[in-house]
Structure 1
Amino acid sequence: MNTSRAAARSPLTSRRSVLKTGAGAAALLSLTGFLDACRGSAASTGSSEVGKATGQPIKTLKVGLPGTLSNLYPGQESGILNYYVAALTMEGLVSIDKTGATQPAVASSWHRPDASTYVYTIREGVKFTDGTVLTVEDVLYSLTMAQSAKSSPSTSASFSNVKSVKQTGENEITIALSAPSEAFEWVPSAASSLFIAPKAYWEKNNGQIGTPDALLTGTGPYRVAGFAADSSVRLEATGTWWAGKPPVEAIEISFISDDNTRYLAEKSGSIDMSFNVPLQSLTQWKSLPQTRVLSVPDRSWVGLVYNLGASPTNDVHVRRAIAHCIDRDAVVKELLHGEGQVATALSTPEQFVGVYSAAEATRKLAGVPQYAFSIEQAKAELAQSSVPQGFSTTLQYPNTGPQLGTAALSLAANLKQIGIELEVKEVALSQWLDNLGDTTAPLRYMWYFNTTPDPAELVTYLLYNQPAANLAGYADPNVMAMLQQAGTETDPAKRAALIVQAQQSAGSDLPYLPLWWGRSLTAFSDTVGVDGFSSYTFESPWADSLYAAA
């Protein structure tokens, strides 16, 4: 899975109607208070226009990354930032373009002779960043490593449906599945779960790559020239990429977790580009001269994970009480500054591309059972629960998502009104990722970035319970049956309908509480242009989309 890796409007209580009740007004004021504390003073408007293309290469691109990475290989550490770095040097058989369409990568072409078989023609003349020529054997061994729970613990489950992988021609491999799977189209990409490296390199490092001592080596445009864990990474163009010379010669990525430090670096010109501009200081970032902030839907999902195997969240009345205590409309409008949408389900509307428009998907996903903001309804639900007097618990959020913390503080203020004490704790991104599998915590945050256009990506991860239990410990035979059918359904419209129906069915059990679908905010210097910027840009060799501007 890829966490912190993945938008509909529902007919929820509007902000205006919330303000008509005392409890609603108090809750909204508490959120507004948090926001006022974060915003600081307003600033004047700065430049927001990119200069004209110069036609010259960018010598060195300096990037600020809002988190720290201890391993660059997404198979080991699967945060979205790991994917962004790996995309510059690693490739799979296929790639995903800026529109979300599947394109050739190490495979020059592929076809499906039947619903359970994928046949790939391996591109000739491909070189790794160390200069060695790629062979079919390298591809086969990388697929073996991708399926290994030891070498790729974070992504190996994506290959659980694979029955066999064989060389079936001089430059051809065939992957046979145990059952038809439309979702497998995206699996052998570096946006999902396949990262092709030399067989000899895998063997030399005992299947453990991505560390400072075993730098990523792939077929992309850049080699990793240096990596200091939790500090920085440097990449340099090698001239070996099969797709040609990229427009950026070197990339220096600094891991800057502190938002203010990253802002000052952008302000001083020390960095040319920054991922994940913090929402609480968006106004200040937009006011920086010679800087522009670009926003696109990023297909991310923020929500709460209820532990159905632990008390008291194994009680549906407790889950409903918590759900009624967060004003999602106010969060999106006030906290996110409109840079997001209230989430009504697990899939994001943009993932139904080719079947539904985003607006049509929004309407269909709104059919999932919803829980409107109401302190009175929350009190009534808690009164029916196993803990009518309330309880205490903790909710952790990653330091790379301060907006999650602010939303959690607002939720905590509301929960206190009904007798629930929620301690909100900020932890490092790496620690938060490690703690996602904690089976003792009653309540957890999930911040998930879908890396593929598959509307079932997060749905399968959170609702399917085979071969391992999902995060909530949720298991429903009807939902499982619908997801199994969706997994083998080859008609896109029928498959999409099944994915929506599965979420509608699970929604009444409330194993997860969708909060919002996000947008990506990226700051660029006006001397750096970007072509065709979209929510998929950073999931392929994204520096190839940049150009020098003046």
Structure 2
Amino acid sequence: MARLAKWSTLGVGLLAAALLAGCSGGGSDSATSASSSAAPAGGGEVATMTWGVSAPVMSMDVAKDGLVSSLRAQAAAFDRVVAQDDQGNVIAGVTSLSTPDPQTVVLTLRDDVKFWDGTPLTAEDVAYSINRHVGPESTSMQAQFFGTVESVEVTDPKTVTIKLVAPDPAMPTKLAVFAQVRQQAYDEAAGEAAGGPEKPGMGTGPYSIASYSSADGVVLTRNDAYWGGAPKAKELKIVTIEDPETARLAMSSGEINGFFDVPLIATRQWDELENATMNYVVGGYIDYLVMDTTRAPFDDINVRTAMAHLLDRAALAQPLFNGRATVATSIVPEVQITATFPNDAAAINAALPAVPEFSIDKAKEALAKSASPDGFTVDLPVDTTQPWMSPLGQNLAEVAKQIGVTINVKPVSAADWGAGLMDPAGSPLQLLALAGPTTWAGELPPIIVGEMAPFNVAKYATPEANELAGAVAVATTAEELKQPLTDLLANVNTNLPYVPLFNEQVAVAIGKDLVWDGGYSYFAVGQPWPMKISGAQ
């Protein structure tokens, strides 16, 4: 998922046991924010809880909107077929999951799950909730995650069986993030209106939808009959505040009780709020500079090398992210490398060719060897909802002038940025932000590299890359994955279709009148997160 979806690229994003994390001002080895021993006790009832998100919720149907802001709103209303815990492990939800063999997933329904209208959840509803993302005719934004699914069938009244065309170790997590449970009869009656203001959906989650529009946000009412127990907040509101400073002022005044995905560039001011606690966790957010390897001038490795040498990644991490990002060493989020290879992560990183260092002289030398020795002009679109992009683009443009390259930085909306990433008429130079919701280090590479990759923004598909990406895609164990993944990461670092930039933390502001049980988790997007929040006592 691109961070249009930060998670879903990939609506593509994608798709990290020891994940690195930090709380405000410090760090700990966890995917959740650290909790202070002096933190207030929770458990209190809350009349109305209002959370801010940075982008409008364009649909309450995950098939039509996979932006991270929308996933957060959807998670309050719609269970997934299985769930995730705070470390990203797949756990039982409305169904339990088993894998009798590498190409079979079996889902067994709970007996006590009902939709908001009181009708019981059926195996047909579960199968429908998956099948809508499957096959070449699917129009779902999440279809790319389910390309390995051959069939989804109801095998008895309490069982759904998924057959895969090839092993897919990430399939359980894909089900936990993107397979939201929706009532089949409701959606079929709603038709194209499903997910919209008039027919947002019928779910089994902890909140029912009282009202929804992309302009006004979402108002949700507590589901007292929720199978997992009633949440503490009677009413939940999700509102859009796109400007970080406006959101900070709303948090300061008490207009909102929490805000997701605070831009890291703005966190210094947020840290000073007296009525909120900032929570920082390291997850799978990773950023790249991308060059279309099929279009001039970036079809020339010397040009790509020159561009990589123009990026002073180490110097930019502090001002762009207030120090809450690290320089990336490969196209895989560092937390996924650490989680998949807890004993070998350092050795794998050490075996990779280093990303070219910042050096204007070396950039000039590389460009002089290229087919464009006198420079060139190119546009660089930047998403205005991701505050790091524009200053990085402007910095790159200023430095590039020194070698005769003109980069026109073009601020665009999130929607236009996302659409331009795969548009053949778009710029061959892009900034890309992805996120991985699984702990599997083999998740992202086959999605962005190789001829079979559904989100290959760089159009990088050499025979060697194709072979390695294919081997990574079918690996089912860390042992099987290690060598082809290492070779593929080395290949990308050498040929530079993607220049790894930063591994970002995630910042969430939580009002001091609330308690998030266990602390905020990077994997909250795949959870019925309001269930973890209660009033401070």
How far off is 1:469 after superposition? 6.5
Quick one: distance in 2 between partners of 1:153 and 1:322?
Answer: 36
User: Would you say the 8 A contact 1:389–1:419 is kept in 2?
Assistant: yes
Q: 1:179 aligns with which of 126, 151, 166?
A: 166
Q: Which residue of 2 aligns with 1:60?
A: 48
Task: Give the letter for the 1:307 counterpart.
Answer: D
- Structure 2 counterpart SS, 1:364: helix
Unpaired runs of 5+ in structure 2?
7-35
Q: Which residue of 1 aligns with 2:424?
A: 439
Q: Which residue of 2 aligns with 1:260?
A: 245
How far off is 1:263 after superposition? 1.4
Quick one: distance in 2 between partners of 1:531 and 1:366?
Answer: 38
Quick one: distance in 1 between partners of 2:228 and 2:492?
Answer: 44
Quick one: distance in 2 between partners of 1:418 and 1:488?
Answer: 43
Cα distance change of structure 1 residues 206 and 230 upon mapping to structure 2, 3 Å threshold: same
Quick one: distance in 1 between partners of 2:483 and 2:195?
Answer: 39
Quick one: distance in 1 between partners of 2:366 and 2:503?
Answer: 26
How far off is 1:371 after superposition? 0.8
Quick one: distance in 1 between partners of 2:193 and 2:368?
Answer: 52
Quick one: distance in 2 between partners of 1:314 and 1:153?
Answer: 32
Cα distance change of structure 1 residues 206 and 151 upon mapping to structure 2, 3 Å threshold: farther
Cα distance change of structure 1 residues 158 and 390 upon mapping to structure 2, 3 Å threshold: same
- Structure 2 counterpart SS, 1:473: coil
How far off is 1:296 after superposition? 0.5
Q: 2:150 aligns with which of 140, 155, 163?
A: 163
**1:266-302 deviations in Å (ceiling 9; x for gaps):** 1111111112223333222111112211110121011
Q: Which residue of 1 aligns with 2:495?
A: 509
Quick one: distance in 1 between partners of 2:487 and 2:117?
Answer: 48
Quick one: distance in 2 between partners of 1:515 and 1:58?
Answer: 41
User: Would you say the 8 A contact 1:2–1:450 is kept in 2?
Assistant: no
- Which piece of structure 1 moves more, 114-123 or 500-509? 500-509
Cα distance change of structure 1 residues 468 and 534 upon mapping to structure 2, 3 Å threshold: closer
Quick one: distance in 2 between partners of 1:128 and 1:509?
Answer: 51
User: Would you say the 8 A contact 2:76–2:528 is kept in 1?
Assistant: yes
- Structure 2 counterpart SS, 1:146: coil
TM-score, normalised relative to structure 2: 0.89
Quick one: distance in 1 between partners of 2:297 and 2:397?
Answer: 16
Structure 1 position 117 matched with structure 2 position 101: no
- Structure 2 counterpart SS, 1:240: coil
Cα distance change of structure 1 residues 352 and 255 upon mapping to structure 2, 3 Å threshold: same
Cα distance change of structure 1 residues 315 and 209 upon mapping to structure 2, 3 Å threshold: farther
Structure 1 segment 332-411 matched on structure 2, within 5 A:
332-352=317-337, 354-357=339-342, 360-369=344-353, 370-411=355-396
Quick one: distance in 2 between partners of 1:90 and 1:340?
Answer: 32
How far off is 1:91 after superposition? 2.4
Structure 1 position 529 matched with structure 2 position 515: yes
Q: 2:73 aligns with which of 74, 85, 88?
A: 85
Q: Which residue of 2 aligns with 1:518?
A: 504
How far off is 1:324 after superposition? 0.6
How far off is 1:354 after superposition? 5.0
- Structure 2 counterpart SS, 1:516: strand
Structure 1 position 72 matched with structure 2 position 57: no
How far off is 1:499 after superposition? 2.4
Quick one: distance in 1 between partners of 2:254 and 2:305?
Answer: 48
- Structure 2 counterpart SS, 1:241: coil
Task: Give the letter for the 1:367 counterpart.
Answer: A
**1:335-381 deviations in Å (ceiling 9; x for gaps):** 22220110111211222465423x85255235333111001111111
Q: Which residue of 2 aligns with 1:450?
A: 436
Q: Which residue of 2 aligns with 1:241?
A: 226
Quick one: distance in 2 between partners of 1:71 and 1:168?
Answer: 31
- Which piece of structure 1 moves more, 320-329 or 405-414? 405-414
Structure 1 segment 6-405 matched on structure 2, within 5 A:
6=6, 52-107=40-95, 109-147=96-134, 152-189=139-176, 191=177, 193-206=178-191, 209-352=194-337, 354-357=339-342, 360-369=344-353, 370-405=355-390
Cα distance change of structure 1 residues 300 and 306 upon mapping to structure 2, 3 Å threshold: same
Quick one: distance in 2 between partners of 1:298 and 1:469?
Answer: 21
- Structure 1 counterpart SS, 2:114: coil
Quick one: distance in 2 between partners of 1:365 and 1:82?
Answer: 34
Quick one: distance in 1 between partners of 2:483 and 2:524?
Answer: 28
Quick one: distance in 1 between partners of 2:340 and 2:210?
Answer: 42
How far off is 1:417 after superposition? 1.3
Quick one: distance in 2 between partners of 1:75 and 1:471?
Answer: 22
Cα distance change of structure 1 residues 462 and 242 upon mapping to structure 2, 3 Å threshold: same
Cα distance change of structure 1 residues 149 and 240 upon mapping to structure 2, 3 Å threshold: farther
Q: Which residue of 1 aligns with 2:19?
A: none
How far off is 1:326 after superposition? 0.8
Quick one: distance in 2 between partners of 1:233 and 1:89?
Answer: 10
How far off is 1:114 after superposition? 1.6
User: Would you say the 8 A contact 1:300–1:450 is kept in 2?
Assistant: yes
Quick one: distance in 2 between partners of 1:423 and 1:245?
Answer: 52
Q: How big is the alpha-carbon RMSD for the aligned residues of Structure 1 and Structure 2?
A: 2.2
Cα distance change of structure 1 residues 131 and 144 upon mapping to structure 2, 3 Å threshold: same
- Structure 1 counterpart SS, 2:239: strand
Quick one: distance in 2 between partners of 1:247 and 1:102?
Answer: 24
User: Would you say the 8 A contact 1:344–1:366 is kept in 2?
Assistant: no
Quick one: distance in 2 between partners of 1:200 and 1:386?
Answer: 59
Unpaired runs of 5+ in structure 1?
7-47
Cα distance change of structure 1 residues 208 and 420 upon mapping to structure 2, 3 Å threshold: farther
Cα distance change of structure 1 residues 455 and 144 upon mapping to structure 2, 3 Å threshold: same
- Which piece of structure 1 moves more, 241-250 or 95-104? 241-250
Task: Give the letter for the 1:479 counterpart.
Answer: A
Cα distance change of structure 1 residues 334 and 54 upon mapping to structure 2, 3 Å threshold: closer
Quick one: distance in 2 between partners of 1:131 and 1:436?
Answer: 43
Q: 2:456 aligns with which of 463, 470, 482?
A: 470
Quick one: distance in 2 between partners of 1:281 and 1:406?
Answer: 13
How far off is 1:501 after superposition? 2.5
**1:302-356 deviations in Å (ceiling 9; x for gaps):** 1112112222112211111111101111111332222011011121122246542
How far off is 1:516 after superposition? 0.2
Quick one: distance in 1 between partners of 2:84 and 2:454?
Answer: 28
How far off is 1:149 after superposition? 5.8
How far off is 1:527 after superposition? 0.7
Cα distance change of structure 1 residues 120 and 496 upon mapping to structure 2, 3 Å threshold: farther
How far off is 1:468 after superposition? 4.7
- Structure 1 counterpart SS, 2:316: helix
How far off is 1:541 after superposition? 0.8
Task: Give the letter for the 2:467 counterpart.
Answer: A
- Structure 2 counterpart SS, 1:88: helix
User: Would you say the 8 A contact 1:53–1:547 is kept in 2?
Assistant: no
- Structure 1 counterpart SS, 2:72: helix
Structure 1 position 494 matched with structure 2 position 483: no
How far off is 1:171 after superposition? 0.8
User: Would you say the 8 A contact 1:76–1:151 is kept in 2?
Assistant: no
Structure 1 position 547 matched with structure 2 position 534: yes
How far off is 1:168 after superposition? 1.9
**1:469-501 deviations in Å (ceiling 9; x for gaps):** 722111123333233233333333322443233
